[in-house]
Structure 1
Amino acid sequence: MADDDRVVIEHPNRRKASSQLARLVVIVLLLASAGVVLIVSLGGWDTFEGAKLIQVAFIPLYVVLALFVARWSRGVLPMTAALAIILGIFAAVAAPAWFDRDKVGFTDPAISSGVLGLFCALLAVLQVALILTAMIGFRQKWNVEVERRREAAAA
């Protein structure tokens, strides 16, 4: 038997409950954010002036990031936090604008402007939570590997 067959690689930080919880929360926040962006995109599509492509690009991007986090990829967590900062800024700027449109004389979107403003405010809060949990997950060092002999691992 070769030496490579006797070595088992373990990731001890991935077994911790805090790491598993951080991973789950990041995945849920990414998918929830993608869902809220989808709702805002569909609800206000006719009234958007610009940045439609950027807004729609966040949906599959967040789903792909959630898949990478589900596979314990620690490297995408800082990128997730950076994208959450950008989307959070967009959402924080858009929320008051949607509330201002909830008056007579403006084109009515598919979903009420007040509701879209509420979703944008919710999206901004989700992004803050996503930034914090992604950075907590990054500090947990999911990538640490420990080599053990097969006999020691079985014992």
Structure 2
Amino acid sequence: MPDPYAASRAAGERIEALYGRPVAELAADAVPGSMRHALLNSFDALQCADRAIIFHAEQLHRLTHPDRAIESADVGHIADASRRLAHAVSVRDSHAQVLGDVLNSLVRVPDVTSPAFAAPQAPAVAPAAPSEPARSR
């Protein structure tokens, strides 16, 4: 089975690279209404969708285990578990797509408070030599 947390793990790594701090640290002081808060909420929704996929896949596996006899009453439960699993995958893919697109549109900017950041200074321009008045004939 492929890594069920691949999408949220990649998004978390991208958020950490963008902000230069672990996600847990970022969440501790996220200000509601900020981009960081929105990203962390989307990341949380993606993680929740990943967990839902695991839950519904395990439930479906339990219902269809080869050692278990499937009775007519189980058919509805199996169909429901399959539908819920498909829905969880769709939700996860939607969250991963949107969060990935937003993260790909953002870039990390240098810290303006660090001493390494210095605004480039324009080179000194020598005053222009006085031009000669135009001669008339």
**Matched residue, 1:124:** 86
Residue 151 of structure 1: how far off its partner (Å): 5.8
Alignment partners' CA distance in 2, 1:117 and 1:28: 22
SS in 2 for 1:130: helix
**Matched residue, 1:134:** 96
| Runs of 4+ with deviation above 6 angstroms | none
AA in 1 matched with 2:92? L
Q: Which runs of 5+ in 2 are unaligned?
A: 1-16, 21-25, 27-34, 117-137
- Trace 1:35-74 onto structure 2 (pairs within 5 A): 35-46=55-66
**C-alpha RMSD of matched pairs (Å):** 3.3
Match of 1:150 among 106, 114, 119: 114
Q: Compare relative contact order (CA 8 Å, sep 6+) and give the higher one, 1 or 2.
A: 1
AA in 1 matched with 2:51? L
Alignment: residue pair count = 85
Residue 38 of structure 1: how far off its partner (Å): 0.7
The sequence identity of aligned pairs, in percent, is 10
AA in 1 matched with 2:110? E
Alignment partners' CA distance in 2, 1:122 and 1:42: 14
TM-score (norm 1): 0.45
Match of 1:11 among 19, 24, 27: 19
TM-score (norm 2): 0.50
Alignment partners' CA distance in 2, 1:115 and 1:131: 24
1:47/1:16 CA distance change after superposition, 3 Å: same
Q: Which has the higher strand share?
A: 1
Structure of larger gyration radius: 2
Q: Which runs of 5+ in 1 are unaligned?
A: 1-8, 49-106
Q: Which has the higher helix share?
A: 1
1:123/1:139 CA distance change after superposition, 3 Å: same
Residue 11 of structure 1: how far off its partner (Å): 2.0
1:11/1:44 CA distance change after superposition, 3 Å: same
Confirm or deny that 1:114 pairs with 2:76.
yes
